[in-house]
Structure 1
Amino acid sequence: MPRSSARQRMPVWAVITVLCLSGTVVSLMQTMVVPLLPDFQRLFGLSAENVSWLVTATLLTSAVATPIVSRLADMFGKRRMMVVCILLMTAGSVVAATGAGFAPLVAGRALQGFSSALIPVGISIMRDELPRDKVNSAVAIMSATLGIGGALGLPLGGWLFEKAGWETIFWLSAVAGLVLLGAVLTVVSESEVKAGGRFDYPGAVLLSVALTALLLAISKGGSWGWGSEPVLLLFVLTAVVLAAWFPYSLKVSQPLVDLRTSGRRPVLLTNIASVMVGFALFANMLLSTQQLQLPAGTGYGFGLSPIAAGVAMIPSGLAMVLFSPVSGALINRFGGKPTLFAGSAVMAAGYVGRVFFTDSLWAVILGATVVSIGSAVAYAAMPNLIMANVPITETASANGLNALLRAIGTSTSSAVVAVVLSSVTVAYGGTQVPALAAFQDVFWNAALASLGSCAVVWFIPRPERVPAEVPGAAQPAVTPAGESAETVVHGCVLTGDEKPIPHAVATVMKTTGEPVDWSRADADGRFSLALPGAGEYLVVASADGWVPRSRVVEFTEADHEERIHLRHRLSLSGWVLRDGESLPGALVALSAGSGEFVASTRTDRSGHYELPLPPPGRYILTAVEAETFHTHSRKVVSGAESAVVNLELVGTALPRG
């Protein structure tokens, strides 16, 4: 396999700039159309509900595309999938700009939704291609570009509409797409970290149906009615499809989303916190612009135009960029967990302040800026936590799932804001406008979501300390900073008779004890590992019910497939005796302490039995003599190691029949 260090490399700053530019383009795509929805309603003669499809179409496409594109990026190349997304995004912009009607406009917006996958894929490229000491700060900057793009998108869209018409917005998007495409092809190298394998088409279809139904119900619940038949049917469809998707993903060889990895405590808790942080982040943007545009006569509004309101939000976007180096420094110094906790806490404090300080324009801008600072810190920490706890060959798909869950949080936030602002109103000028209490209610909800994130993050385990390197110990090949030599090697975990062991775990470490990568084998026992270079590594393989095995392996630069055999099962074994004599043919049955049957066998000619080791817990082990029906039972506690338990039959035989 060719080493990536042999490739022509661009300066680190250039790679960071291009990837961060993609994040800015994504946020611009998502926000520039939002302030123009009332104008599109007038131009096309449509209702507000119909015009909202310009936002809903992008939301649905991004939700479906993000996990699929991210998985394909892990399998076949991250830069390749970035190019595909940029091409689709650019095509969508051209379709929207040239289409003669509302339907092409919606279709173009749907294609623009593919741009959302650029963020998790771009973050994964940063992990693969940048020096280790630059990754955290680069990820922080890319996360911050979401804020600056969102802040600029609101006034920029309104200004372009007023000066040159709505088509200009999409022509600008097309030009930005072409510029970004050229920059990616010129600056970004294709990562050598490719897992390969088979794409999970059934899983992609099931997850796409579930996500479409869920987000459509959330986004349209306010206009269709939360208790309406279509919304309820969509929620039921989501539950039914997910109920089929979960067990399918646990059994399939190479699932679209590895639920076992996603269920690991650090990953699961980070993803739960991401939903809450996404909820709090989006509430800040939605509430601030609406409050700034309310009539000044209400006492809590400021009567700004949509463009002026967008300009007033620029400080909060700039704050995200300015604090991105702080976020990277916090991660480098303290790690992802304390940084995510701190960011969530700052967001909570900002929202509590917004409840009580709403009497001036500067108070609103300052409150929004404080929340944005917390968002910048939190958003920078989440990819760090995800990538630190998933296999290197799954970083894009894991980041894609995290981005998807943040999107679910933002969609839920949008729905909650719409419900509260439309139901808690006051009369002003003959119309109903959102009351101050409505804004305060959402501020409290966002503060609670931020505090909920803090509570979840508290239970994320801290990573173990890495032992210091031993002088003179064998080291893998070292390459200059910024020139990653990562090579993907493949292997399989087998039984002694060459049968695959599904879902076994292979862990690779340097011979000094420093962790390198780990991988969970698919249903065929196959796994992939990303190594920093050729050399000797410690490889440990384990699987439920099997005695683990380890050995030092020398990996070369050429394609390497390592076959690891687990030859011994973990077992519960022993002898069945009567008066010190072994009993061949005796029945041995194992049942759970709660009564459920677990397994049974018969002793061999020497009176020996062996059962697969059950999961940890309390059990009842029973022996029955074949001829006399003498019995004996005893309690046993199963752990993580094989156990030997002998059974001595005593007493009177039970009457037969």
Structure 2
Amino acid sequence: MITPADTEVPDPEVAREVPQGRWTARLLASLISMVLVLEVLSASLTMVAVGLPRIVAEYHTTQGAWLSAAYMLVGAVISPLVGKLADMHGKRKLLLIMMVLATVGAVVSASAPTYGLMITGRTLQGFLTPAMFLVYSLIRDVFPRNKVALSVSISMSGLGVFTAVSPYVTAWVLDHWGFRGIFWIIAVCLPILVVMISLTTPETSVRVRSRVDLLGAVLFAIGLSGILVGVSFGPTWGWGSTSTVTYFVVGAVVLAVWVVSALRLRDPLIDIRYFRRRPLFLTAVTAGLAYGSTQSFTTVLPILCMTPAALGLGYGLGLDAFGFAPILAAFGIALAVGGFIVGKLVRYIEARMLLGLGLLLIGLGAVLTAVEHENRGLLIVFATLVGLGMGFGVSSVPNLVIAAVPAQVQASVASVIVVVTSTGSAVLPVAVFAVLNSHIATAAQGHVLYSGSGMNLAFVIPAACAFFGMIVSFAVRWRIRG
């Protein structure tokens, strides 16, 4: 909750707006360094998605979903915590700390001899997730006010460009250095950017006095992790086994304790009382479905495309990383285009309708992939649909949040929405892989191969979730007034 104590400004001179100014070499270097941080954040997801088939083959595992789930789960837990600490102790300081932790994680993943250590490294890399809002906050606080809008726009468009070219960069890295090269690149780039930001970007003012809900963070992480482990390993252990049931029960009980704690605390990690407001609740649900469906699609798609067709599983194009690159590049370009379209239309069409249209496109792309996946040209079209839909979603959700709450609590509410979208991006891929692991066709030389029916379901599930979100957006009235 936001209280007068939370928003007290200790020094009016420190809190004043940065006056107008011109571009200088230091300001340009600061912008470039922060944009590159967001590029590394993008690479942490897209490059690992392309390298997923080689990683799971190397470790002979069926738990490939945890490469993204661990990353997203950490992002969901720490984003509100980091946001609060950044307001208390300085945004640049927290950004640098997150980058250092992510660097350690990249080194661990790059050198991991076991899949457990690989996941440990990915968990630490998830600490880079808050960089998204920390970078924007720094630009807002320390850049001249006449340069803020342009700088933020450059940051966003930079992400779109890298999403388009990253498949080709990843293909080159995989061919020359293997999948470990992906993590070594991250481990080398982040320390360089730490130095650049330290030298070029001033610290923002300390503006908020608040309390940190560490207990809430621990309870949320344990509860959600318990349920995810139960879903992920249920097909292996048996859904009625003692281990599976124990994880489900412990996870549910801990989450229930967390909810009670969040409702009673004055300043909880995640103020779930926001969800009593119908517009915010529906925004969170539809946003979580959009992000989760898209993450599931992009996680499974490389496996479908890179499986050899000669195996006769009913799917597989036998593509290498370079062959798969145009498909993911089409997705990235379409995502950027979708965001641009929403920016032009949102003044004339309700944001919830645009979000619903985005969910419709995501669902269509996923279900068409389930029906027809033996032609690379068609897969490029289907990936374009999903990317366009995700672009609609990414740009519509902030507009819904802006319209739903007053300005003084928009940052807090935005962090809650980030938690929901990150959680959706973690949970749904794990559920999809649980279904895949119930449809294993064979294991050739330690490599797990899924049946054609299992692969179809892996795309039908995110399609169904997207269509459900579309219905909520179109059919349920939740227009915000005032």
TM-score interval w.r.t. the shorter chain? 0.7 to 0.9
Summarize the Cα distance change of 1:283–1:107 in structure 2 as closer, same or farther, 3 Å threshold. closer
What is the root-mean-square deviation of aligned Cα atoms in Å?
A: 4.1
- Please tell me the residue identity of whatever aligns with 1:70: G
Q: Report the more deviating stretch, 55-64 or 403-412.
A: 55-64
Query: CA shift at 1:369, angstroms?
Result: 0.9
Aligned residues of 2:327 and 2:380 also touching (Cα < 8 A): yes
Query: CA shift at 1:241, angstroms?
Result: 1.6
User: What is the SS of the residue equivalent to 1:313?
Assistant: helix
Aligned residues of 2:165 and 2:329 also touching (Cα < 8 A): yes
Whole-angstrom distance in 1 between the partners of 2:354 and 2:407: 22
Whole-angstrom distance in 1 between the partners of 2:424 and 2:112: 32
- Please tell me the residue identity of whatever aligns with 2:338: F
Whole-angstrom distance in 2 between the partners of 1:229 and 1:149: 45
Residue equivalent to 1:472: none
Residue equivalent to 2:479: 462
Whole-angstrom distance in 1 between the partners of 2:191 and 2:306: 35
Whole-angstrom distance in 2 between the partners of 1:429 and 1:275: 36
1:530-569 matched pairs, under 5 angstroms = none
Residue equivalent to 1:512: none
Q: Extract unaligned runs of 5+ from structure 2.
A: 1-11
Aligned residues of 1:140 and 1:377 also touching (Cα < 8 A): no
Whole-angstrom distance in 2 between the partners of 1:445 and 1:136: 39
Whole-angstrom distance in 1 between the partners of 2:478 and 2:147: 23
Q: Which has the higher contact order (CA 8 A, sep 6+)?
A: 2
Matched, 1:4 2:20: no
Normalised to the residue count of structure 2, the TM-score between the two structures is 0.79
Residue equivalent to 1:320: 335
- Please tell me the residue identity of whatever aligns with 1:444: V
Matched, 1:358 2:388: no
Summarize the Cα distance change of 1:163–1:327 in structure 2 as closer, same or farther, 3 Å threshold. same
Matched, 1:407 2:422: yes
Aligned residues of 1:420 and 1:442 also touching (Cα < 8 A): yes
Q: Which has the larger radius of gyration?
A: 1
Whole-angstrom distance in 1 between the partners of 2:278 and 2:359: 19
Query: CA shift at 1:36, angstroms?
Result: 4.8
1:10-29 matched pairs, under 5 angstroms = 20-29=35-44
1:145-544 matched pairs, under 5 angstroms = 145=159, 156-157=169-170, 159-165=172-178, 167-182=180-195, 184-185=197-198, 194-297=207-310, 298=312, 300-390=315-405, 392=407, 394-424=409-439, 433-458=449-474, 459=476, 461-464=478-481
Normalised to the residue count of structure 1, the TM-score between the two structures is 0.60
Residue equivalent to 1:66: 79
User: What is the SS of the residue equivalent to 1:61?
Assistant: helix
Q: Report the more deviating stretch, 345-354 or 196-205.
A: 345-354
1:14-69 deviation per Cα after TM superposition (whole angstroms, max 9, x unaligned): 887665543331232234345556656776xx542588866565454334323321
Query: CA shift at 1:210, angstroms?
Result: 1.8
1:271-290 deviation per Cα after TM superposition (whole angstroms, max 9, x unaligned): 11122112320232133222
Whole-angstrom distance in 2 between the partners of 1:261 and 1:16: 34
Q: Percent identity?
A: 27
Residue equivalent to 1:587: none
Summarize the Cα distance change of 1:87–1:423 in structure 2 as closer, same or farther, 3 Å threshold. closer
- Please tell me the residue identity of whatever aligns with 1:411: A
Summarize the Cα distance change of 1:287–1:55 in structure 2 as closer, same or farther, 3 Å threshold. closer
- Please tell me the residue identity of whatever aligns with 1:241: V
Q: Extract unaligned runs of 5+ from structure 1.
A: 466-657
Summarize the Cα distance change of 1:312–1:249 in structure 2 as closer, same or farther, 3 Å threshold. closer
- Please tell me the residue identity of whatever aligns with 1:112: Q
Aligned residues of 1:31 and 1:154 also touching (Cα < 8 A): yes
Whole-angstrom distance in 1 between the partners of 2:205 and 2:417: 23
Whole-angstrom distance in 2 between the partners of 1:463 and 1:136: 29
